[in-house]
Amino acid sequence: MAAIKSFSQRRTARLCALLTALALLSVPALAQQVTITHMTYGSHAKEWHQFLQLMAERFEAETGIRVEVEVGPGGGEYREQVIVRTIGGMPPDVMDFNPGQAAILIREGAFADLRPFIEKSNLDLDEYPPIGLQGMTLPDGFVWGFPMSLLPIPVYFNVDMFAEAGLANPIELGEAWDWDAYLQSARRLTLRDGEGNVYQAGSTDWRYRYEQPVHQAGGMLFDRFVFPTKSLFNTPEVLEAYSFRATMKQEGLFATSGGVWNGNVALTNIDGPTIINRWVGGFRMDVALQPKGPAGKRSSELNPDGFQIHAQSPNKEAAWQWIEFLVGNPEVQFEFAAMTGRLPALREAMLRYGDIPRELPQNWYALIETAFSPDAFPPYMIDDASLVDALNKGHAPIWNLEVAPEVGLLQLHEQLQGILNALQ
């Protein structure tokens, strides 16, 4: 009996030791579970936020990494919230900025350089539009973000308006679709009642994407896209673009409300793919490339929306895993397009855009052509509030035809260059 008792005691002791060891092993495993915070931009549509929440659950199931998705404020308050949390020592691990919003934070060093992560990843950069990547890269190669989606700006038009007027539409015109064709179409398709009031407008106002006609004319607004040092608002190409817009304004061709999507405007060259979500139906709407400008270019701004890792994040590796999961997986990218209507950044998912469960314009592929166009250009990144203020105030009299374009542009140039000189 003593021998049996001794064996039982030894077995019990070994079992207790084993259970203790297993318990101790489980503590580090639990302690090592990583949680990252993704503070998303509040002005994104609710579908963007819902997509991130859904993917966070899927990502945790696959990797064990928990992602807490927080919907931050919208507008400039989003950037301010990142600054406040950074000062407080609790910055988010992941954010989603576009170039215009991010400029000030980039200058302050708020974002981690993603190059080391990209180099170790399975991402094929050739599968993303070059301008989309350029929009999140500094001249020295520093990669401050990676695109999730892209905002190409093609031309949307009301097919029925062109057909009823006996006009060839932008697709039918092909290479002949240029500034003059745009102007003539807008003139023919602007209709007024007996009192002269416009009830069908030829176009939306080009002022809302004023960079595009400048590039179509072969010019630029500044000497470089990122943190410019020299104004080019006094150049002939800029004047040509602004003068063309002034002609349409003087002739009353611009809509003051509505848009192509609700059937009272013939043409728009300022909107991205999300206006398709607003298409009310009852008429045919289609998509074409931008009109060819005097320089032979169909230039359009390609604005990337994407993700960043905070420079002070203690969880950069986990944060990158999350970003790569979102931007590099074709199925995730396609699901993003299906939920939001946005154009995904990855080519393989782009090519399936026609499969999303909603009505699309027949020539939707023009969105992809616009994104990969050699004439596309990234947004200008201006990191000084006084420059932004000067641009807004200096443009107002030009847009309202209170001054001739040549006078207003010279005044604007001198003001901008004065600010740029003071910043250097």
Q: What distance in Å separates the CA atoms of residue 241 and residue 215, rounded to the nearest whole number?
A: 9
* Nearest one of 42, 121, 103 to 74, comparing CA atoms: 42
Ranges of residues in the chain with a pLDDT under 50 are 1-31
Q: What distance in Å separates the CA atoms of residue 88 and residue 90, rounded to the nearest whole number?
A: 6
Sequence-ordered list of residues with C-beta below 8 angstroms from that of 11, at least 6 positions apart, any chain: none
> DSSP secondary-structure letter at 295?
T
pLDDT of residue 21: 42
pLDDT of residue 33: 84
Instruction: Decide whether 35-152+302-350 matches 155-301+380-423 in CATH topology.
Output: yes
Q: How many residues does the chain have?
A: 424
Q: What distance in Å separates the CA atoms of residue 324 and residue 307, rounded to the nearest whole number?
A: 10
Kind of pairing, strands 155-158 and 285-288?
antiparallel
Per-residue pLDDT reduced to its tens digit, 387-396: 999 999 999 9
Q: What distance in Å separates the CA atoms of residue 323 and residue 117, rounded to the nearest whole number?
A: 10
Per-residue pLDDT reduced to its tens digit, 121-173: 999 999 999 999 999 999 999 999 999 999 999 999 999 999 999 999 999 99
- Both tokens assigned to 355: 């499969």
Dump strand ranges (E) for 91-218.
94-95, 146-151, 155-158, 191-192, 198-203
pLDDT of residue 174: 98
Domain range annotation of the chain: 35-152+302-350, 155-301+380-423
Q: Domain 155-301+380-423: give its CATH code.
A: 3.40.190.10
Q: Which CATH superfamily is domain 35-152+302-350 in?
A: Periplasmic binding protein-like II (3.40.190.10)
